[in-house]
Structure 1
Amino acid sequence: MTRNVAFTLLLTLAASSFAQAPKGPPAAAPPPPRVFVATARIETLDEPKSFVGTVTPLRKSVVGSAASGRVEEYLVNEGDFVKKGAPIAHLRRGIIGAEKKAAEAELEVRKAALLEMENSRADEIAQARAQLAIAEANQTFQHGRAERAKQLLNAITKEALEEAVSHEQQAEATRNNAAAVLRLLTGNTWEQKHEQWKARIAVQEAEVERLSEQFQRHTMFAPFDGWVTAEFTEVGQWMMQGDHAAEIAELGNVDVEIAVLEDYATKLTPGVMGNVEITALRGQRFVGKVAIINPQADARARTFPVKVRVENVVDERGPLLKAGMFARVTLPVGEAKPLPFVPKDAIAIGGRSPVVYVVDTTAGKSSVRPVPVTLGVAQGQWVSVGVGEIKAGDVLVVEGNERLRPGQDVRAEAINISFP
Structure 2
Amino acid sequence: MNTTFPLHISTSLLLSLAIGSSLLAQGKAPPPAPVRTATVEQKEIATRKPFVGTVRPTQQAILGSAVDGRVIEFNYEEGDRVENGAAIAQLLTHTINLQWEAAKAELNVRKAELEEMENGTRPEEIEQMKARMLAAEARMRYLELRRKRAEDLYANQKVTSAEVRDEAVSAADAAKQAFLEAKAAYDLSVAGPRAEQIAQAKARVAMQQAIADELEDRIKKYTIRTRFDGYIVKKSTEVGAWASSGGPIAEVAHLDSVDVVANVPEQDIPYVQLGEEVTVEVFAYKGHPFSGKVFSINPSADVRARTFPVKIRIKNELVDGKPMLKSGMMGNVLLQAGQQKVAKLVPKDAIVLGGPAPMLYTVAKSADGLTAKPVTVQLGEADGGLIEVLGEIQPGDQVVTRGNERLRPGQPISIIPTTENQTAGS
Instruction: Indicate the SS of the match to 1:106.
Output: helix
Q: Which residue of 1 aligns with 2:232?
A: 228
Coordinate RMSD, CA, aligned: 4.1
Per the alignment, residue 135 of structure 1 pairs with 133
Distance 1:69-1:386 versus aligned 2 partners, 3 A rule: same
User: Is the alpha carbon distance of 1:146 and 1:300 closer, same or farther for their aligned partners in structure 2, counting shifts above 3 Å?
Assistant: closer
* AA at the equivalent of 1:277: E
Residue 303 in 1 paired to residue 307 in 2?
yes
* 8 Å CA contact 1:45, 1:332 repeated in 2: no
Q: TM-score, normalised by structure 2?
A: 0.61
Q: Deviations over 1:288-317 (max 9, x none)?
A: 222222223234443211111122234761
Answering whether residue 105 of structure 2 is matched by residue 90 of structure 1, we say no
Does residue 407 in structure 1 map to residue 411 in structure 2?
Answer: no
Displacement of 1:248 in angstroms is 0.7
For residue 56 of structure 2, what is the aligned residue in structure 1? 56
Other-structure match for 1:17: none
Q: Which amino acid aligns with 1:85?
A: G
Q: Which runs of 5+ in 2 are unaligned?
A: 1-40, 346-380, 390-394, 397-419
Match of 1:337 in 2: 341
Q: Tell me the residue number matched to 2:191.
A: 186
Residue 44 of structure 1: how far off its partner (Å): 4.2
Tell me how far apart the structure 1 counterparts of residues 177 and 321 of structure 2 sit (CA, whole Å).
90
For 1:407, give the aligned amino acid: Q
Q: Counterpart of 1:173?
A: 178
CA gap of 1:263–1:115, structure 2 versus 1, over 3 A, is same
Indicate conservation of the 8 Å contact 1:69/1:238, yes or no: yes
Q: Which residue of 2 aligns with 1:348?
A: none
Displacement, 1:193?
Answer: 1.9
Partner of 1:38: none
1:233 and 1:245 in contact (8 A); partners too: yes
Q: Which amino acid aligns with 2:187?
A: L
Which residue does the alignment assign to 1:362?
none
Q: Quickly say closer, same or farther: Cα 1:43–1:132, change in 2 above 3 A.
A: farther
Q: Counterparts of 2:129 and 2:230 in 1: how far apart (Å)?
A: 71
Between 1:101-110 and 1:44-53, the stretch displaced more is 44-53
Distance 1:262 1:136 in 2: 101
Q: Which amino acid aligns with 2:63?
A: V
Distance in 2 (alpha carbons) for counterparts of 1:62 and 1:141: 81
Correspondence for 1:278 among 282, 294, 303: 282
Q: What letter is aligned with 1:131?
A: M
More displaced, 73-82 or 263-272? 263-272
Contact 1:146–1:161 (CA<8 Å) still a contact in 2? no
Secondary structure of the structure 2 residue equivalent to 1:76: coil
After superposition, the Cα gap between the structure-2 partners of 1:340 and 1:272, relative to the gap in structure 1 and judged at 3 Å, is farther
1:102, CA displacement in angstroms? Answer: 1.6
Decide whether aligned partners of structure 1 residues 168 and 131 sit closer, same or farther in structure 2, where only a CA change above 3 A counts. farther
Choose 208-217 or 223-232, whichever is displaced more.
Answer: 208-217
Amino acid at match of 1:123: R
Please state whether the residue corresponding to 1:112 is helix, strand or coil. helix
Q: What aligned pairs does 1:239-250 form with structure 2 within 5 A after superposition?
A: 239-250=243-254
Letter in structure 2 aligned against 1:100 = W
Report SS of the residue matched to 1:407. Answer: helix
The CA deviation at 1:69 is 3.2
Flag the structure with larger Rg: 2
Write the deviation string for residues 359-401 of structure 1: whole angstroms up to 9, x where unpaired. xxxxxxxxxxxxxxx985xxxxxxx663579x99xxxxxxxxx
Distance 1:264 1:186 in 2: 86
Residue 278 (structure 1) shift: 3.3
Partner of 1:109: 109
Instruction: Note closer, same or farther for the CA distance 1:109–1:150 as it changes in structure 2 (3 Å cut).
Output: closer
Task: Give CA-to-partner distance per residue, 1:251-303, whole Å, 9 cap, x none.
Answer: 12210011112122122343333223334344333332222222232344432
User: What is the rounded CA distance, in whole Å, between the counterparts of 1:87 and 1:212 in structure 2?
Assistant: 17
Residue of structure 1 equivalent to 2:272: 268
Q: How many residues align?
A: 316
The 2-side partners of 1:182 and 1:270 are apart by: 81
Give the 5 Å matches for 1:12-31. none
For the 8 Å contact 1:184–1:190, the answer to whether it is kept is no
Residue 48 of structure 1: how far off its partner (Å) = 3.4
CA distance in 1, matches of 2:320, 2:168: 99
TM (norm. structure 1) is 0.62
For residues 163 and 375 of structure 1, what CA distance do their matches in structure 2 show? 126
C-alpha distance in structure 1 between counterparts of 2:342 and 2:191, whole Å: 91
Aligned partner of 1:66: which letter? A
CA contact (8 A) 1:139 1:172 kept: no
Q: Distance in 2 between matches of 1:133 and 1:42?
A: 114
Deviations 1:309-330 (A, max 9, x none): 1222347613232212233322
Q: 1:237 aligns with which of 237, 241, 261?
A: 241
**Percentage of pairs with the same residue:** 34
Q: CA deviation at 1:205?
A: 2.2
Q: Which runs of 4+ in 1 moved over 6 A?
A: 159-162
Alignment match, 2:325: 321
Distance 1:44 1:237, change over 3 A: same
* Cα distance change, pair 182–385 in 1 and its aligned pair in 2 (3 A): farther
Provide the secondary structure at the position in 1 that maps to 2:299. Answer: coil
Match among 203, 211, 216 for residue 212 of structure 1: 216
1:172–1:242 CA distance, 2 compared to 1 (3 A): closer
Aligned AA (1:311): K
Contact 2:129 2:189 in 1 (8 A): no
CA displacement at 1:192 relative to structure 2: 1.9
Structure 2 contact 125–189 (Cα < 8 Å) conserved: no
Summarize the Cα distance change of 1:334–1:97 in structure 2 as closer, same or farther, 3 Å threshold: same
TM-superposed deviation, 1:57: 0.5
